[in-house]
Structure 1
Amino acid sequence: MIGYIKGKVIYSDAGTVLLENGGIGYEILCSGALFAKLVTDKQGEAYTYMQVREDGISLFGFVSTEEKNMFLKLITVSGVGPKMGIGILSAMNINDIAVAIATSNVKMLSSVKGLGKKTAERIILELREKVTAGELKSSEGGKIPAQAVEKMSDKEEDAIVGLMSLGYTRAESAKAVKGAVEKGAESLEDIIMTALKSM
């Protein structure tokens, strides 16, 4: 099994990179964090998971062992294959995923393209006890962000999901939505528009 590759980035496009090592080019489907880190014509590295199937071999790449471990947990859930797992890690970072699982936030998980409510519920049910303290660490000092566990109205949750669909993280979206509500925004559209102005 190929678990780690280091070499020159030949090209990167649409979440996929070609990493050359020893004269061999490895095509890797990347998490969002890894894709953002690798630069064409520069040296790069990836922790990898190799999927072997009858119709071919696929490599999935991660920026760290922690991210790879989260991926391995996700694909143990029925209905979550490697492509869905890498899709989740392209839409959310490992802290956001861990927070969504720990706080049973189905709406946050199901905001990922192609991930339905039932699969999101299954992820939470099966992985709630497997989320580690390390995965719940945030830039604010190792605790679950207050805005992640603070009770939000359905309208605020919808606004957060809307912002996440535009590429913002859960933490960024929740902070912006809270600020918009404090400024007096009431309708869903107003909350989103006001939040976007602050981002």
Structure 2
Amino acid sequence: MISSLRGTVLSASGGTAVIEVGGVGFAVQLTPDHVLSLRVGDEAFLYTALIVREDALQLFGFSDREQLEVFDLLTGVSGVGPKSAIGVLSVLSPDDIAGAVAADDDAPFRKVSGIGPKTAKLIVVSLTGKLAAVRRPAPVAQTAGKPSSVADSVLVALVGLGWQERTASEAIADVIADTAETERDSVQTLLRLTLARLGPAQVTR
């Protein structure tokens, strides 16, 4: 099972990027916005889902775990294949999807190419009660001049290094979830672990 990739972007166009890892190029299907965020020659980290079929192996990539988890939920809905699932994520964010499901509103899904009215309604019914676990709370806004926690301090540092706030916040949340409390109780340690997960700093464009 290929659950993630970290490597050099060889190409990125349409809905596909090729990521070179250890001399091997992996073709990964992404949302169009994700493809546009990649730059040839840069290092990229992707969470991935490998779809195995009799006639093909397909690799789908995501910028964060939240998208991957929603993708897995969508492909578990009868009538929604991986291409339709990536199509949904190309149009709707995980928060948009959760909001539509919570409101019992299938209209946003009917706007996705390849998703008909019956399938749209089935998505809402099937995902009801399943999305709360994959949604991360938004970062707490700072109310004073100084950061209010270790995580806030690291977030400020990463934004200062050029990372987008959403990307940095998600990486911090991943590190906190994956490490022991003693490994994340200082700004220096948490910053080091988060930078290791993010890879080389990127200047916001």
**Which TM class, normalised by the smaller chain length?**
0.5 to 0.7
Question: Structure 2: 5+ residue runs without aligned partners?
Answer: 142-205
AA aligned to 1:92 is L
Contact 1:33 1:90 (8 Å CA) reproduced: yes
Give the total of aligned pairs.
141
AA aligned to 1:30 is L
Contact 1:5 1:48 (8 Å CA) reproduced: yes
Within-5 A mapping of 1:50-199: 50-132=50-132, 135=135
Contact 1:4 1:46 (8 Å CA) reproduced: yes
AA aligned to 2:86 is I
Q: Given the superposition, is the C-alpha separation of residues 47 and 12 from structure 1 closer, same or farther in structure 2, using an over 3 Å criterion?
A: same
Contact 1:9 1:18 (8 Å CA) reproduced: yes
Secondary structure of the 1:90 match is helix
2: CA distance, partners of 1:115 / 1:51 = 20
Deviations 1:12-60 (A, max 9, x none): 1111000001000000001345323321111111100001111111100
Contact 2:4 2:45 (8 Å CA) reproduced: yes
Secondary structure of the 2:70 match is helix
Q: Given the superposition, is the C-alpha separation of residues 74 and 134 from structure 1 closer, same or farther in structure 2, using an over 3 Å criterion?
A: closer
Secondary structure of the 1:59 match is strand
**TM-fit CA distance, 1:135:** 2.6
Matched, 1:18 2:15: no
Deviations 1:91-120 (A, max 9, x none): 111111111111111111111111111101
Q: Given the superposition, is the C-alpha separation of residues 80 and 138 from structure 1 closer, same or farther in structure 2, using an over 3 Å criterion?
A: farther
Deviations 1:144-167 (A, max 9, x none): xxxxxxxxxxxxxxxxxxxxxxxx
**TM-fit CA distance, 1:77:** 0.4
Contact 2:47 2:64 (8 Å CA) reproduced: yes
1: CA distance, partners of 2:83 / 2:127 = 18
Contact 1:32 1:91 (8 Å CA) reproduced: no
AA aligned to 1:64 is D
TM normalised by structure 2 equals 0.64
AA aligned to 1:73 is L
2: CA distance, partners of 1:80 / 1:115 = 8
Question: Structure 1: 5+ residue runs without aligned partners?
Answer: 142-199
State the partner residue of 2:4. Answer: 4
2: CA distance, partners of 1:93 / 1:139 = 17
Q: Given the superposition, is the C-alpha separation of residues 136 and 114 from structure 1 closer, same or farther in structure 2, using an over 3 Å criterion?
A: farther
AA aligned to 2:122 is R
Q: Given the superposition, is the C-alpha separation of residues 90 and 77 from structure 1 closer, same or farther in structure 2, using an over 3 Å criterion?
A: same
Percent identity at matched positions? Answer: 35
Give runs of ≥4 in structure 1 deviating > 6 Å: 138-141
AA aligned to 2:90 is S
**TM-fit CA distance, 1:131:** 1.6
